[in-house]
Amino acid sequence: MNQAPIWFERKFEFTFPAELHPNLCARLRGTPARLEEVVRGVARDLLRRKPGEKWSAQEHAGHLLDLEPLWMARVNDYFAEASMLTVADLSNQKTHDAQHNLRPIGEILSNFRNERSRLVNRVEKMDPALFARAILHPRLKTPMRLVDHLYFAAEHDDHHLAHIWELISES
C-alpha cells in the first residue's frame, strides 16, 4: 500500500465554489461512520500497536477527537469575523498527553461522533454567506474561506483514516 503523504507537507488549492459546503458537511458528517467501519472487529492489541515512536491506530482515532475543539473554534472565528483563524498546537501535545491507548475504543468513537455532530450541526445552521468569508490561516499564511476550512478538516480526517487503515492492514 502507498504511504499517506506527510500532513505538514501538503499543499492545498481552494479554487472550488463556496456552494459546495453541503457536500463538505456530508463528508464531515460521514467521518465517524467511516472511522467506526475501519476499526470494527480489529483486535485491541492491533489497534494499540505503536510502530516505533509513531501513533497507533487508536491514537490516530483519538487525535481526530482531539482536533474537534480546534475545528469548532475556527468555525466560530468566521462567525466572529476574526482577523486570523485560531492557531493549532502543531506539536499535537493534547494527543500525546491523552493516552488514548488506555481508553476503550468505543469511548473514543462515541465522543468523536458526538463532537463531530455538534460541529456539523453548527455549520449547517450558519448563514450561507459565511461560507465565502475568508480569514488568514496561521500556518498556511493564506486566506481560507469557511468552505475551505471544511475541506481542510475533511482532508485531515481522510489523512488519519488512511494512516489507521495502513496500520491495521500491515499485520
| Cα 133 to Cα 141: distance, rounded to the nearest angstrom | 16
How much of the chain, in percent, has pLDDT values that exceed 90?
80
Give pLDDT tens digits for 48-92. Answer: 999 888 999 999 999 999 999 999 999 999 999 999 999 999 888
| Cα 67 to Cα 65: distance, rounded to the nearest angstrom | 5
**1 pLDDT band (50/70/90 cuts)?**
very low
Higher pLDDT, 165 or 3: 165
pLDDT on residue 12: 67
Give 135's strand partners.
144
pLDDT on residue 6: 65
Give pLDDT tens digits for 86-140. Answer: 999 988 899 989 999 999 999 999 999 999 999 999 999 999 899 999 999 999 9
The pTM score is: 0.92
The CATH code that applies to domain 14-169 is: 1.20.120.450
- Closest to 105 in 3D by CA, of 54, 53, 158, 65: 65
**163 pLDDT band (50/70/90 cuts)?**
very high
First to last CA, the chain: 12
- The average pLDDT across 35-45 equals 97
**Would you say 128 and 1 are in contact if contact means Cβ atoms under 8 Å apart?**
no
Q: Would you list the DSSP string of the chain?
A: -PPPPPGGG------S-GGGHHHHHHHHHHHHHHHHHHHTT--HHHHH---TTSPPHHHHHHHHHHHHHHHHHHHHHHHHT-SBPPPP-TT-HHHHHH-GGGS-HHHHHHHHHHHHHHHHHHHHTS-GGGGG-EEEETTTTEEEEHHHHHHHHHHHHHHHHHHHHHHHH--
Where along the chain do its domains lie? 14-169
Give 137's strand partners.
142
